[in-house]
Amino acid sequence: MNRKIVVVLFGCLLIAPTVFVSGETISVDKEYIINEKIGASGFSGFHTVLVEYFSSSTSSKGFATSNQLYDLYSSGNYDFQYVTLVTDKSKAAENRSQEFRVRDYPIVYFDGGHQILSGEQSSIIPYVNALAESNSREINDVDLQLEAYWTQCPCHKDIVGDVRVINNKDDEYNGRLVISVVEINSRWEDQNGRPYDYAILDYIMDAKITIEKAPLGKYATDYFWYTAGAGFPRLDRSAAANLLVVASIFSDSTGFADKTAVSRLFKDEPPAKPSKPNGESNGKPGDTYTYKTRSTDPEGDEIQYGWDWDGDYKVDEWTGFYPSGQEVSTLHTWDSKGNYNIRVRARDKLEIESFWSDPLSVSMPLNRISRHSLLSNFVLRFLSKYTSFTDVLNDKHIFKALLY
């Protein structure tokens, strides 16, 4: 992959630090969960946590981990950005796993190893604990600014960006700047057929940085790269709308991430997370049921809806386009019994997709059997042991049963 990287180091006046504020969240202590605000501003803690989830498409484990991380992230209640490293699909992911000496999947690193969760977890509580521990720890007084966008001209189509690290400390800052390109809805699937989310395609930059002490500390890079490399097999407008650029700075003194920033390639925002599907939660196979939902698009674009009818986080059916904000109805029939978590996501004309909605649990039990059918089946089974009607009449047990 051809790259042109320009590094500029220059003096400047002290700039007010970027404020990172988390939203309504859940603070977890070691034994129980309580609802509380844990967000705050300033450099003495409370930052966007980087979560690196290692997996392999050949591993039979990790389905629950993918679901739990996605549900936590899409809730909007936690200040973190996660990336999925599918080590058998991405060379960059493989190299990162070797750096951490990953031996089994799944494994999740928080802020470069401040917290580590190995294996599948039975609930989201360990993740929330790890996020709270990492989010509230002491970090260096540095800031990270990132902007990336997609550009096209007659000769090429590329991602262009700028990243800036600002040192607000009274001493020199030494660290590592890592920038990656992430595919929001991944082309890769796990063994269960569930597509990965936020999967790393490749690293744009991985470099040692030294920032002079404030007020001189400022580090800017302008990076340009082309998409002919193996990490970027295709890039058009719709593909670029599905990409995210993630940048993190890691402290040399601790090895942990001090700041993480993200940038989409388009100013267009995705449609809002659709409302939870509304419809029958109990039924029987073969019958048709109606399910309703709605979403809005920030730019007012028309929206289409993708339904997941079997709970595998994979679109089974896309609808046509509807006006933003309009409630839509979709019919569905299950052919067999089972319990299903149905979800829906929205997509605009640029093919920018929303988060999945919250799930609706649906139970499709066995077809109901009428009393008449039960009686008929009993009579048929009873009479099947007789070879003729005369045998039935000669069976005195029948007449005793009738007398009682």
CA distances from 370 to 154, 171, 375, 380 (A): 70, 81, 9, 16
The segment(s) of the chain belonging to CATH 2.60.40.10 are: 3-264, 278-364
* pLDDT of amino acid 267: 80
Contact of 182 with 200, CB cutoff 8 Å = yes
Q: For residue 84, list its beta bridge partners.
A: 53, 199
* Domain topology for 3-264: Immunoglobulin-like (2.60.40)
Residue holding tokens 């029939």?
333
DSSP secondary structure of 124-172? SHHHHHHHHHHHTS---SEEEEEEEEEEEETTEEEEEEEEEEEE-SSS-
pLDDT at 222: 64
Supply 118's token pair. 């190995």
Q: How far apart are CA 60 and CA 191, in angstroms?
A: 6
Question: For residues 205 and 46, what is the distance between their CA atoms, to the nearest angstrom?
Answer: 25
Q: Which two tokens stand for residue 304?
A: 């289409």
Asked whether 364 and 284 are in contact (CB, 8 A), the reply is yes
| Bridge partners (DSSP) listed for residue 157 | 152
Q: What is the pLDDT of residue 388?
A: 57
Cα 137 to the center of its chain, rounded Å: 25
User: pLDDT at position 14, please?
Assistant: 25
- Helix %, strand %, coil % for the chain, to 5? 15, 40, 45
The one-letter code for the residue type at 259 is K
One pLDDT digit (tens) per residue for the chain, 404 residues: 333 333 333 222 222 222 222 223 333 332 222 223 233 333 334 799 999 999 999 999 999 999 999 999 999 899 999 999 999 999 999 999 999 999 999 999 999 999 999 999 999 999 999 999 999 899 999 999 999 888 777 666 778 888 999 998 889 999 999 999 999 999 999 998 999 999 999 898 899 999 988 877 778 776 655 444 444 545 677 788 889 999 999 999 999 999 999 999 888 889 999 999 999 999 999 999 999 999 999 999 999 999 999 999 999 999 999 999 999 999 999 999 999 999 999 999 888 999 999 999 999 986 544 444 444 555 555 555 555 555 655 665 554 444 44
What is the 8-class DSSP label of residue 374? H
In angstroms, what CA-CA distances link 197 with 34, 63, 185, 294, 382? 28, 12, 5, 23, 58
Task: Report residue 309 CA to chain centroid gap.
Answer: 18
Residue 34 to residues 29, 37, 130, Cα–Cα distance (Å) = 8, 10, 15
CB contact at 8 A, 67 and 82: no
Count of CB atoms situated within 10 Å of the CB of 31: 7
Q: Please state the CATH superfamily assignment of the domain spanning residues 278-364 in this structure.
A: Immunoglobulins (2.60.40.10)
